[in-house]
Chains A and B, each alone.
Chain A
Amino acid sequence: MSAPMRVLRAIAIGLILPVALVLLWQVASSREWINSLFYPAPWDVMQRTWDQASGGKLPHDARVTTGRLLAGFAFGAAPGLAVGLAAGVSRTIRQLLYPLATALYVVPRIAMLPLVLVAFGLNDEARVFMVAFSVFFIVFFSALSGVEQVDRIFVDAARAFGAGKVRLAATVLLPASAPAVFAGLRVAMGFALIVIVGTEFLAANDGLGARIWLSYQIFDFPSMYAGIIAVTALGVLLAWALLAVEWLAVPWRR
């Protein structure tokens, strides 16, 4: 079998189960084997998704959610990276931050929401902070462990050429820990999506999370599924975007 045929065959095999499940769902719903109010047929969901997408509602909510998510991601990842690298380089900074960071890391993010609402009020700052707070610790720990795992031989080589602390960090520690940092960023992106949707469930009137939750409350299940599909699509797109950035930023790992 030729190489393209093998790829096509692998894709075809991978599609068997999803297609079968969707068909089963369609048949089960249209024949009322399952309650079509709660589990509308995939075709109806597709139609609703299309209507809301072309009507502008879904794109609006997707834009709102994406804006909050990306702002929170940036505000969490940038300091997480800087502080994580600093803690990797300096034992004092590590000893200062590690206990607190470890304690805060295990707090379930959504448990912080009431406190954050008290501090910020019911606004986008609060929603962005929720995302930033979860992203910060994941990126912090991945940058810290990335630096700790840098092969000693690279550090020695750079120092023997006269690299001081700043040059060492910029020319060795940062690039050497980049693969670990990107692994952390991928995990953080997943967390960011969970946290923004959860936050919008509870504390927003717009955004994909709010759309899913409001649709559920008024029993508009096709709209709820439309929201879930949009969130899933957003997650996939952001994961791809991050992979593209990694592909550009870490060319030696291609």
Chain B
Amino acid sequence: MDVSGELSIRGLTVDYGGAGGVRALQALDLEVEPGSFHAILGPSGCGKSTLIKVLAGLIPRTAGEARLPGDGSVAYVPQGNSCFPWLRAEENVAYGLKLRGVGRRERAERARDLLKSLGLEQFSRAFPGQLSEGMRQRVAIARAFAVEAPLLLMDEPLSALDFQTKIAVQAELVDLWRDRRCTVLYVTHDIDEALTLADRVSVLSARPGRVALTAEVPFARPRHQAGLREQPGYAAAFRKLYEAIEG
């Protein structure tokens, strides 16, 4: 997989509903280093999901440009329960591979490997309806990693999980990312989650969204959200992001 090249967004503007509609993003600039984990924070309604959807090719942009890393292909984990209910766990994971024309045997192998690394090998034949919320999100994450795209777009993938499950999936997610070194753009509303997962965090302003602040996360890996508050410098890092979100 070619992960070279950075994600570079210049002057990205997105309007909903044509002229006289709502401006969701206003001349947004963002640089994301190749292979880095970049979190996007921001007040509710600031256009975080819009940014992700534009990059995923789901919403047209009004102006500006975005250069994507590698071959320009992306993988996407939408906000909410996005596993296809009619496909078994392994078929869900293999979905993107099937669209890309990967053969049956290789699909099954890669799906099994991913499910195994997420502790779901016993549930590969289960339908999403038979899985817990945490398992379903693991399947959605595995589905995104399976295609080995150079850019992984994640829209609050863990926001519906209880704290314990969230901590566990965070660790698995970071392991998968470190193995593959793809670039991750990760939207969250949770400052602690951003500080746990990301190399850098960008805060979007209230609508129309633009980047108000980009900050390095000063903590060494491995990190753990439950122990984050004992890290020296946590309070300052948290306050800086919080104040940027508040505007």
In the bound assembly, the distance between CA atoms of A156 and B58 in angstroms comes to 7
For the complex formed, measure the closest distance between the CB of A141 and the CB atoms of chain B, giving whole angstroms: 22
Can you offer 5 A-B residue contacts whose CB atoms are under 8 A?
A153-B80, A157-B76, A161-B147, A175-B86, A176-B85
Q: In this assembly, does B231 line the interface, its C-beta being within 8 Å of a C-beta of chain A?
A: no
How far, in angstroms, from A167 to B74 measured CA to CA in the complex?
18
Q: Is the CB of B86 within 8 A of A160?
A: no
Contact flag A167-B99 (CB < 8 Å), given A153-B82, A156-B56: yes
Type the 1/0 row for B27-70, where 1 means its CB is closer than 8 Å to any CB of A.
00000000000000000000000000100111000000000000
Question: Which of B56, B84, B129 meets A160, CB within 8 Å?
Answer: B56
Q: A161-B99, A163-B99, A252-B127 are in contact. Are A156 and B75 (CB under 8 A)?
A: no
B221 on the A face (CB < 8 A): no
List which A171-192 residues lie within 8 A (CB) of chain B: 171-172, 175-176, 178
Write the B179-213 contact mask toward A (1 if CB under 8 angstroms, else 0).
Answer: 00000000000000000000000000000000000
- Which residues of chain A are within 8 angstroms of B76 by Cβ–Cβ distance? 156-157, 160-161
Task: Report the bound CA distance from A167 to B84 in whole Å.
Answer: 14
A153 vs B83: C-alpha distance in the bound complex, in angstroms?
A: 9
Q: Complex: how many Å from CA A157 to CA B57?
A: 11
A156 x B78 contact (CB < 8 A): yes
Query: A149-164, CB under 8 A of B: which get 1 and which 0?
Result: 0000110111111110
When C-beta atoms are compared, the residue in chain A nearest to B77 turns out to be: A157
B81 at the interface (CB under 8 A from A): yes
B73, CB-defined interface residue at 8 Å = yes
Bound form: Cα–Cα A92–B192 in Å: 48
Contact A162 B99 (CB under 8 A): yes
A154 to B78, CA, bound (A): 9
Residue of B nearest to A155 (CB): B58
- Min distance, Cβ A173 to any Cβ of chain B, angstroms: 11
A176 to B85, CA, bound (A): 8
A162 touching B56 by the CB < 8 A rule? Answer: no
- Decide yes or no: A162 and B86 within 8 Å by CB, A156-B58, A252-B127 being known contacts: no
A252 and B57 within 8 A (CB):
no
Q: How long is the Cα–Cα vector from A16 to B76 in the complex, in angstroms?
A: 58
Give the size of the chain A interface in residues (CB under 8 angstroms): 19
A interface residue numbers (CB < 8 A to B): 153-154, 156-163, 167, 171-172, 175-176, 178, 250-252
Q: Which of B82, B84, B96, B147 has the most CB of A within 10 A?
A: B84
User: Given A160-B58, A163-B99, A171-B95 in contact, is the A252-B78 Cβ separation under 8 Å?
Assistant: no
* Contact A154 B127, CB 8 Å, known A160-B58, A161-B99: no
Nearest Cβ distance between residue B24 and chain A, in whole angstroms?
16
Q: Which of A159, A167, A171, A250 contacts B58 (CB 8 A)?
A: A159
Are the CB atoms of B82 and A154 closer together than 8 Å? Answer: yes
Give the interface centre of A158, A167, A176 by most chain B CB atoms within 10 Å.
A158
B105 at the binding interface (Cβ < 8 Å): no
Find out whether the CB atom of A153 lies under 8 angstroms from the CB atom of B147: no
Query: Of all chain B residues, which has the CB nearest A164?
Result: B99
Smallest distance from the beta carbon of A171 to chain B beta carbons, Å?
Answer: 7
Interface presence of B100 (CB below 8 A) = yes
Q: Which residue of B lies closest to A251 (CB)?
A: B127
Q: Which A residue sits closest to B74, measured CB to CB?
A: A160
User: How far is the CB of B242 from the nearest CB of chain A, in Å?
Assistant: 30
Q: Which residues of the other chain, A, contact B129 by a CB distance below 8 angstroms?
A: 252
Residues of A within 8 A of B73 (CB): 162
Supply 5 further A-B pairs (C-beta < 8 A) apart from A160-B75, A176-B84, A252-B127: A153-B79, A157-B84, A161-B147, A162-B73, A250-B86
7 smallest beta-carbon distances between A and B, as pairs: A160-B76, A175-B86, A161-B96, A160-B56, A252-B127, A157-B82, A153-B82
